[in-house]
Structure 1
Amino acid sequence: MTGSLLKAYWRESRTSFSRLPVWLPGTVMELGDIGVLGEGGWTKATDLGALGIPVTRRGEGAAADYDYSSGAEVSLTTRVSGQLPDAAGAPVSGGGGLVVDFRRSGAFILKSHAVRVHRIDNLDAVEKAVIALHTRLRWNPDWVIVTEVARGGPSITVISKEAGAQSVLDLGLAVTGAGVDLAAARTGMRFSHRSRDAWASVTTEESTVLWRGRYVNEGWFGRTTVRERGEDGPAGPAPAWSTPPSLPRSADGGPYLADVEDLDEILPL
């Protein structure tokens, strides 16, 4: 996935769901994981438990189906059995599923069955422990903590690289025209056709589809606290891994855990 396409996908996901997209669907990303986002995606380095930081979970809440598309920029057509085309345009025998057409680059669809949200409940205690590790130079400034995950499945993600992209999904079951039933399509889902202008993924098992995370930011202004990025003014660069903080930590400034919002905050592209 190119940098510009990833940024568009990232920002629309954040705006639409108030959460961030998983770099690659099916990526193992669990609550309390600590890792690095790089060009190859998410790499787990450790987790809060391994660093001796206790984590308590907030209740999961009710399961919900996620069904999102980029509005008028995406056209979804359900094809009943025998009407689904293969890569050559010929009908797939017994096939039924979904045809996705895109009108702009970066438009996407995300469908996921029975999604439940899991959150870290003791974020205040986690923040204090992480800042203590940071002060003792035991925290890598590139690390991101996974503080919330939305898990569900099966899941479908399709992202357009160019206007005019198309993907054809064979659900592996008879489709009646009443819509896409992901719960019934747990096995046999596959893309029977995908143009080179679209990036697509099918995950048949439960996995993390969206997440939220925090990272240590070296604050120059405002109180040392957990806050949204940009809430009270600019923030300084993250400290070098081997260099102690140049200013004493106090209630008037210092490192804090910031919610990841802009991809450039944690991954220059």
Structure 2
Amino acid sequence: MANPHKFYLAHMNAKTGYRATWDPGRPLKIGFIGKLDKFGVFTVFSSLDKEGLIPEVLTDTSDSEMDYTSENEVNIGTKLAGKAPAVGSVLTDAEAGFVIDFKSEKGVVFKANGYKTHQVTNLGEIEKFILPKFKQGNWEKDWLIVTQLVEASSATIIISNSSNGKLELKASAGVGAANLKLTDASLGLTVARETGSTLKFIAQEGLTPLYRLMGIRHPLFGKPGLRTKGIQEGMDKEEFQLQDFDPGEVEQ
């Protein structure tokens, strides 16, 4: 696969309804203002705070997990310490870890622990703030605002870049827990062996891997999906809307 990150952006949107942050380690915050580049990557230019309006944010109080693995494309095996490894594995009897098989170059592993969602709750106020600025030429038409954000206390994201690949991850010495998790940073997971090619972010902490954007309606960003309440009838032909993912964003 020539551009695995483009596949990842389109694939995760199709499966979750969110945009995926690229790279996954890049931090985002609610109220960030930016643009999508020609690769579909969101680049931050400003924030609502800097522009003069503080977003009101509701944070999910639950602490859940998000677990997605490409159907029929990925197989994940857990190797416990003291158990015999699979035939051909480089892991020893005493070692713990994971063996991940990718059947094609279109496999994704996305596991997030401590999953929380943040969302803006004063969209009507933001809309009334933006539209006059846009009309006066003080707001760029392709500026987009992060209005929903997924935060994970830790996450593992692996993107296959070749067919029939295998990735073996070894936990640090002394790990004996029966309930091993790919997202557990305390395991100290390292690559023991890899055949094929993957892009991988293993048990990274404090990620904001998924998000949604809103902005002024513009043909570049495809069909609008949601119109925010609060626009006065006839106030302006422009609308502040959810910016649906357009596959054309990540085309060469």
- Which TM-score applies when normalising by structure 2? 0.80
Distance 1:116 1:28 in 2: 15
| Partner SS state of residue 126, structure 1 | helix
- Structure 2 residue aligned with 1:251, among 230, 234, 247? 234
Residues 67 and 172 of structure 1: CA distance in aligned 2, closer, same or farther (over 3 Å): farther
Distance 1:263 1:193 in 2: 37
| 1:73 shift after superposition | 1.4
Aligned to 2:5: 6
Distance 1:36 1:193 in 2: 38
Residue deviations 1:100-122 (CA, integer Å, cap 9, x gap): 11122222011111111011111
Aligned to 1:116: 116
Aligned to 1:244: none
Give the aligned length: 241
Residue deviations 1:86-138 (CA, integer Å, cap 9, x gap): xx963368532222111222220111111110111111211222222221222
Q: Does 1:166 align with 2:166?
A: yes
Distance 2:144 2:157 in 1: 24
Residue deviations 1:223-253 (CA, integer Å, cap 9, x gap): xxxxx93559xxxxxxxxxxxxxxxx97397
Residues 134 and 94 of structure 1: CA distance in aligned 2, closer, same or farther (over 3 Å): farther
Residues 266 and 15 of structure 1: CA distance in aligned 2, closer, same or farther (over 3 Å): closer
| Partner SS state of residue 205, structure 1 | strand
Residues 10 and 40 of structure 1: CA distance in aligned 2, closer, same or farther (over 3 Å): closer
| Partner SS state of residue 186, structure 1 | helix
Matches within 5 A, 1:183-202: 183=184, 185-186=185-186, 188-202=188-202
The structure with the largest strand share of the pair is 2
Q: Does 1:45 align with 2:45?
A: yes
Q: Which protein, 1 or 2, shows the higher relative CO under an 8 Å CA cutoff with sep ≥ 6? A: 2
Distance 2:187 2:251 in 1: 38
Aligned to 2:90: 90
Residue deviations 1:152-187 (CA, integer Å, cap 9, x gap): 13210011122212222234362555442634x336
| 1:212 shift after superposition | 0.9
Aligned to 2:31: 32
Distance 2:225 2:65 in 1: 32
Q: Does 1:72 align with 2:55?
A: no
| 1:216 shift after superposition | 1.9
Residues 132 and 193 of structure 1: CA distance in aligned 2, closer, same or farther (over 3 Å): farther
| 1:203 shift after superposition | 4.5
| Partner SS state of residue 72, structure 2 | helix
Residues 225, 243 of structure 2: 8 Å contact kept: no
Q: Does 1:261 align with 2:223?
A: no
- Which TM-score applies when normalising by structure 1? 0.76
Structure 1 residue runs of 5 or longer lacking an equivalent are 220-227, 233-248
Aligned to 1:241: none
Task: Report the more deviating stretch, 22-31 or 36-45.
Answer: 36-45
